Structure 1
Amino acid sequence: MILPALLTSAGFNIVICVGFMSLYSILRKQPINLKVYFGQRLAQLQPGQKNHYFFDRLIPSAGWLVKAWEATDDDIYTCGGLDGLVFIRMIVFCIRIFSVAAVLCIFIVLPVNLFGQGVEQRTPESQMDIFTIANVQEGSTGLWAHFFALYMISICAYALLYIEFKNVARMRLEQVIRYPTKPSHFTVLVRGIPWAEGESYSEAVKKHFSDYYNSSYLAHQMVYRSGAVQRLMMETEKMYKVLTETPINEYVQPITQPITVGCSHIGGIPVPFKTPEGSTKKRKHDDKQDMKDQEVAAAFVFFRTRYAAMVASHSIQSKDPMLWVIDFAPEPHDVFWANLCVPHRLLWIRKTLVFIGSILFSLWFLLPTTLVQGLVNIEKLENMFPVLRGISETQYANIISGYLPSLVLMCFVLLVPPVMMMFATLEGAVSRSGRKKSACCKAIIFFFWNIFFYNLFTGTWWDRMSKLTVTGLKDMATLLGNLIPGQAPFFMTYIMTSGWASLAYELMQPFVLIVNWIFQVILMRKEGFGDLYTFPYHTEVPRVLLFSLLGFTFSILAPLILPFLLVYYFFAYFVYRNQMLNVYITRYNTNGSYWPVAHNAAIFGLIVMQSVASIIFGMKNFGTGSSLAFILIIFTSLFNLYCRHKFLPLFSNKAAQDLIEMDRHDEHSGKLEEILSRLLSSYNKFGPRSGNHPNDLLSAEYKVTGSKDSETSRKR
């Protein structure tokens, strides 16, 4: 890529960002857009509370930047939860490490690259090579500058990663203590319940936990299938709400025949209806048989203490690991009810099919990636296809080779998060936060391979397809070592188009904005449209981590990429803080589980950086630096193992010490009975037809036997 093409791309993206930011600062002040840009704020208001906004409505301003800067970590935690705070810390980590890299590489490494004499023939295509390590001659003493920067960046990364891992692990432990009455602390999700002839799943669950957890078992709640009948019942519930809110006494004649008031449970909500007295017993028998037929091999099991729930969730219940599979239950509002009906024995088949589907999707994505690299190397494209000759000489050549490739790639990348979310759903995730995290991990792997590695390989192929024949691993290493620095300009344009422009798009929320206008202007609905979304971690986390991989890889090879990265991360710091404070509503989170993903991505970026440096140092006849860079790879791997052994268990388990102390405190203070009484109805009203039907039987069981058992257990 030539320098004018890079400058053209930069100009386009700067104009887009400035224009969108100015337009956003005006649109956010308009009362019609409050639900679009202040969904989080509106959700925190009380039902009768009024909010007034006084703005200079038609003048662009930067007030939102000041408010995002002044917000504290506690404010971010209150609005975005621990996941939101962890995501901001990812961005802060990238700002810190790449600020260090920018100081080292721009003031020490870049002058060495500029004054090198490695590029003998200065052609338009090699204009950017003088800023990279490709311009350093073999055996030059200037390579010590690159080696020094490599070691300093690695050491700073180790220190920052260790500190952040430790802090996030501490916050995760504090999260358990901060919310002591969460239902998930006392509840486990049981799947793979074995089927016994003449016995329902509910009876099997009660028998199993009464036998093996008699002193700690409280009650259970079955999961039921949802289908056409369930949808009909939900519609009936809506009709009932409408009827109860409408005064109909003057229109309905009083009923004179004797009746009995009954109760039907729809999604855990009691709906009164009236039936003849003679049919009450028959209806109860039919409801019981219907519930038995609709049961699935999954249930929520409640325990009297947090410690008992933890012991059950970490124990193998039978000799067959596919039966009685127990995990901590998600929070009630986090449960993904549709996947609870999937038999546990079929999950491995689903995961296999998803793995095959991911491979096929990756193979399909090679087509647009190859097309993008063809647009970057427009001269090579003209030589292969004579019909296209003359395009490079037009006045639009800089736009085609500078801005268009990254724009085309970004458009195709927009398909990735929804596809990965679909794959995560098909895998059988039982929680919404787990589904989003699974989609995030899949998108990261996809981005690292298809956007980073494959663009390197295809760019290499386009550049040297007729000049170098690869005959072995040594030739491949030589090829990559020579041509990886040359791909830096393309990734600079990608950072601007997919990074800068996407942040402007995130601020504007154009889709939600247009739909909100349709609701209020055309459909005349005063409530508008908005405040419906949680933060898109599966979209934003992969982008942030992909750019960190680019920063690590090219920091000492092509230092000019670092200013583009720092602009993105500083801009992202303000944008995402503003969105968490004002826009997105937090309904569920993973309690900081995204940080191990970010840590692994950073370690991977360090290893790639050190591996590429070792290869290039060897090619430049700098054997000492090549050997020491290889030793650095080993040290990075050992550092990663140390962090995983020290901190990672805190992300998959709860501390037994904290749980036992919380149980003792609740028992001594008399709060335990109150917590357990609320626990029984916690998983009723959130899902489609969840809960033991009827619910009053479960409550009655606790009132009759639960108090007696708890008193007995205290005596023990």
Structure 2
Amino acid sequence: MNVGGLLASVGVNSVVCLGVFSLYSVLRKQPHFVSVYFGHKLARARSKRHDPFWLARLVPSASWVVKAYNATEDELYVAGGVDAVVFLRAVVFSIKLFTVASVICLVFVLPLNYFGKEMEHKEIREELLTVFTIGNVQRGSEWLGFHCFVLHIITICACFFLYSEFKHIMKMRLNHINSPLHSASQFTVVVRAIPWIDQESYSDTLTRFFTDTYSTSYLSHQMVYEKSAIQKLMSDAERMYKILKSVHMERRYVKRLLRCGFCGGNNNASQEMKELSDESKSITQEETFLDDSDECGAALVFFRTRYAALVASEALQTQNPMAWVTDAAPEPRDMFWANLCVSYQSLWIRKIIVVFASFFFVTFFLVPVVFTQSLVHLDTLTQFLPFLEKAVGRVVLEQLVTGYLPSVILTLFLYMVPPVMYVFSTLEGVISRSERKRSACIKVVYFVIWNVFFANILTEAAIVHYQISILKLGDYKNIPALLAKAATFFMTYCLTSGWASLACELIQVVPLLSNVVSRYILKNNSESSTSNPFSFPYHTEVPRVLLFGLLGITCCTLAPLILPFVLVYFVLAFLVYRNQILNVYVMKYDSGGQYWPIVHNTAIFSLVLMQVIALGVFGIKDAPGPSTFTFPLIVLTLLFNQFCRQRFLPVFFRTPAKSVIEMDRVDEQSGQMEDIHQSLLTAYSQYKSKSGRWGSRKFGEMSRSNSAHDTAEMGDISHA
């Protein structure tokens, strides 16, 4: 690809992004789209929906940029929780790192690459992008020592930024643990693999076991029931709600019905009341429907103190590790009830199935990767497909096909990856929604690193050498040029998948189309039909941010021309994601910043990969000095990573005992412990009817009301 093809891709993406950003600034002012761009809470603000028309609604503006930029971290925490702040801190880390890398590499490294060989350069538009890469530096050049020096500077800056961010986020994590808003989960332990004993229910077995083992700290428990029984109660509760609603409407218009004797209004009213009475009896009898046979081998166990729950969740309960398995309970709104009834003994089989399914999915995805790389090498493809010679002969069409179309196709195929990985994570049997999304995030990170980075490089090599097996004797000298050619594809991919994806994220294509179809085609103007609040898609956006960080870090000395595009992407991401977190997404649950270890590990992997690639390039280009100084840098980076894992990482996966003991002491001295114990009885609810009413349920030996949970959940949503 030449500079002209890159400029064509830059021009197309810039025009698209500018147009979409302008369109967004207009659409967000329209009353009918409040539910799309301001979430569920602002969608209910009817005062904005009936404002008279004013011309400023049709004029693009940058007011949303100013509001997003000026938002404080506290405002972001209230809107999206710790996870949202951690995600934005990852973007800020990338901006800091690539600002330093761009200044150094564009000012010093890029000219060294361009004039690395004594050659006559073409006009700038006709220059190949490979002349700006390290592949253009001749073997044995002394200039490679400066590449090694820049490598050290970037690594030192990255480690410094990572350390400061890790330390800051660890403090946020500790504050999250000490927050009284999450006290219900701190007193609760999830118990699975409860042994089945003849002539005894799971509930009785659990009561006897925990009464004997934790006699002073055990409070109560709540059994988990089969989905079929729960679904029946939900259906009955839904019918009850509809009948109550119909009776309310009948009472409202009873006078109008009585005026028409032919309609038989009085008979209808008596019939409705009779049906209501019958259904009430049915629901009352349904409370005894959940008998012992409907119980699963899982339950929620409540303890009197946080420390007792912490000890129970961390301890091995019996000599058999596959029985009485305990884990810390997620928050009530974070609980994923469907997987609690999954047999614990079958989880390892599920994980093996997911591994094989992921492998086949990765293998299948190599097809679009090979196809996109073949479009980059359009001149080579014409040797196999002669009818493409006309396209190659047209300069504009060739630049569009090689510079824009491949990355667009790959981006479209990548949109199917997060939903598939989300399903795989569900099949693994995780018990919390946040853990399911985090597990999907890890899978997508692995997937995009392999299929976008490594698979593209290998495919590039296969096409250039016309065969899969490329590492033949004598071919190793062409590896720097091979990496440089692959880096040129990553430039256009950053433009298309990066800039364009932010534009799509900002304008909310799917909710916007759904709103338009519902209002103007289906003629449905009800509030419920246009309001659809949803949580932030971390399993989609975190891997995308980390992928561009990987591309920028690994290519900073290899192909410095990619750095401006990566930096612009992260600056736009900083503004777009802050706006979306403040206005669009609803915080339904919070993992407490557990996405940061994923960010840290990926950043360390990117640094080590950059150093290994540089070490190989220095060796191939006969530069013993840079090779000698690069190897210790790899060791020091790994030691830094080990230090961070020992210093900060345990806080993200284990709860400090000192923190929970202090919270227990404060609650006991203030007399709030009894109130907390009472609130535990209504904190968790296994099911909810479609109409939003909570169904009746059975908690071991006690029946409980759900009003406290309803109030707490609505309070959590209102923060967004």
Check whether TM > 0.5. yes
Query: Is contact 1:347–1:428 with CA below 8 Å preserved after alignment?
Result: yes
Q: What are the Cα deviations for residues 144-165 of structure 1, in whole angstroms up to 9, with x where unaligned?
A: 2211110000001111111111
Query: Is contact 1:611–1:633 with CA below 8 Å preserved after alignment?
Result: yes
Structure 1 regions of 5+ residues with no counterpart?
A: 263-270, 702-716
Mapped partners of 2:418, 2:495: distance in 1 = 20
State the Cα distance separating 1:476 from its structure 2 match. 6.7
Q: What are the Cα deviations for residues 583-613 of structure 1, in whole angstroms up to 9, with x where unaligned?
A: 0001012110000000000000001100011
Give the alignment of 1:558-569 within 5 angstroms.
Answer: 558-569=559-570
SS at match of 1:698: coil
**Which residue is 1:508 aligned to?**
507
SS at match of 2:404: helix
Mapped partners of 1:687, 1:331: distance in 2 = 16
Query: Is contact 2:203–2:700 with CA below 8 Å preserved after alignment?
Result: no
**Which residue is 2:656 aligned to?**
655
Mapped partners of 2:641, 2:499: distance in 1 = 31
**Which residue is 1:379 aligned to?**
379
Bigger CA drift: 238-247 or 629-638? 238-247
State the Cα distance separating 1:74 from its structure 2 match. 0.4
Q: What are the Cα deviations for residues 13-54 of structure 1, in whole angstroms up to 9, with x where unaligned?
A: 1111011011111000000000000006527x7x99988879
2:698 to 678, 691, 694: 694
TM-score (structure 2 length as normaliser): 0.89
Query: Is contact 1:24–1:508 with CA below 8 Å preserved after alignment?
Result: yes
Mapped partners of 1:666, 1:12: distance in 2 = 61
Q: What are the Cα deviations for residues 279-306 of structure 1, in whole angstroms up to 9, with x where unaligned?
A: x9xx69x937x52111111100000111
**Which residue is 1:621 aligned to?**
622
**Which residue is 2:311 aligned to?**
311
Give the alignment of 1:58-457 within 5 angstroms.
Answer: 58-117=58-117, 127-179=128-180, 181-227=182-228, 229-245=229-245, 246-247=247-248, 251-253=268-270, 272-273=280-281, 287=288, 290-394=290-394, 395-457=396-458
**Which residue is 2:463 aligned to?**
462
Bigger CA drift: 511-520 or 96-105? 511-520
Residue 601 of structure 1 aligns with an amino acid whose one-letter code is: T
Mapped partners of 1:574, 1:170: distance in 2 = 25
Q: What are the Cα deviations for residues 390-430 of structure 1, in whole angstroms up to 9, with x where unaligned?
A: 32112411111111100110111011011100111111111
State the Cα distance separating 1:537 from its structure 2 match. 0.5
Mapped partners of 1:367, 1:272: distance in 2 = 59
**Which residue is 1:706 aligned to?**
none
**Which residue is 2:711 aligned to?**
none
- Counting matched residue pairs gives 679
Query: Is contact 1:478–1:619 with CA below 8 Å preserved after alignment?
Result: yes
State the Cα distance separating 1:86 from its structure 2 match. 0.3
**Which residue is 2:492 aligned to?**
493
Change (3 A) 1:168 1:426: same
SS at match of 1:353: helix
SS at match of 1:218: strand
Query: Is contact 2:234–2:687 with CA below 8 Å preserved after alignment?
Result: no
Mapped partners of 1:584, 1:467: distance in 2 = 45
Residue 479 of structure 2 aligns with an amino acid whose one-letter code is: L
Q: What are the Cα deviations for residues 611-639 of structure 1, in whole angstroms up to 9, with x where unaligned?
A: 01111111222111112111111111111
**Which residue is 1:671 aligned to?**
672
Change (3 A) 1:393 1:49: closer
Residue 614 of structure 1 aligns with an amino acid whose one-letter code is: L
Residue 281 of structure 2 aligns with an amino acid whose one-letter code is: F
Change (3 A) 1:64 1:255: closer
Residue 97 of structure 1 aligns with an amino acid whose one-letter code is: L
Change (3 A) 1:3 1:199: same
Mapped partners of 1:2, 1:50: distance in 2 = 51
Q: What are the Cα deviations for residues 474-514 of structure 1, in whole angstroms up to 9, with x where unaligned?
A: x5754433311222221010001000000000111121111
Mapped partners of 1:419, 1:170: distance in 2 = 34
Q: What are the Cα deviations for residues 218-253 of structure 1, in whole angstroms up to 9, with x where unaligned?
A: 0000000112x5434322212212322333676554
Bigger CA drift: 179-188 or 633-642? 179-188
Bigger CA drift: 113-122 or 157-166? 113-122
Name the % identity: 45
State the Cα distance separating 1:10 from its structure 2 match. 1.0
Change (3 A) 1:693 1:206: farther
Mapped partners of 1:385, 1:341: distance in 2 = 55
Change (3 A) 1:477 1:353: farther
Mapped partners of 1:118, 1:597: distance in 2 = 44
Bigger CA drift: 633-642 or 356-365? 633-642
Q: What are the Cα deviations for residues 286-343 of structure 1, in whole angstroms up to 9, with x where unaligned?
A: 937x521111111000001111110000000111111111111111111111111111
Change (3 A) 1:274 1:651: closer
Mapped partners of 1:534, 1:32: distance in 2 = 21
State the Cα distance separating 1:11 from its structure 2 match. 1.1
**Which residue is 1:36 aligned to?**
36
SS at match of 2:633: helix
State the Cα distance separating 1:388 from its structure 2 match. 3.1
**Which residue is 2:257 aligned to?**
none
Residue 698 of structure 1 aligns with an amino acid whose one-letter code is: M
Mapped partners of 1:349, 1:532: distance in 2 = 35
Query: Is contact 1:482–1:616 with CA below 8 Å preserved after alignment?
Result: no
Query: Is contact 2:32–2:49 with CA below 8 Å preserved after alignment?
Result: no
Mapped partners of 2:65, 2:138: distance in 1 = 46
SS at match of 2:222: strand
Change (3 A) 1:240 1:119: farther
Mapped partners of 1:403, 1:391: distance in 2 = 15
Residue 663 of structure 2 aligns with an amino acid whose one-letter code is: M
SS at match of 1:396: helix
What RMSD in Å do the two structures reach over aligned CA positions? 2.9
Residue 564 of structure 2 aligns with an amino acid whose one-letter code is: P
Change (3 A) 1:118 1:186: farther
Change (3 A) 1:209 1:391: same
Residue 507 of structure 1 aligns with an amino acid whose one-letter code is: L
TM-score (structure 1 length as normaliser): 0.89
Mapped partners of 1:180, 1:533: distance in 2 = 21
**Which residue is 2:578 aligned to?**
577
State the Cα distance separating 1:143 from its structure 2 match. 1.4
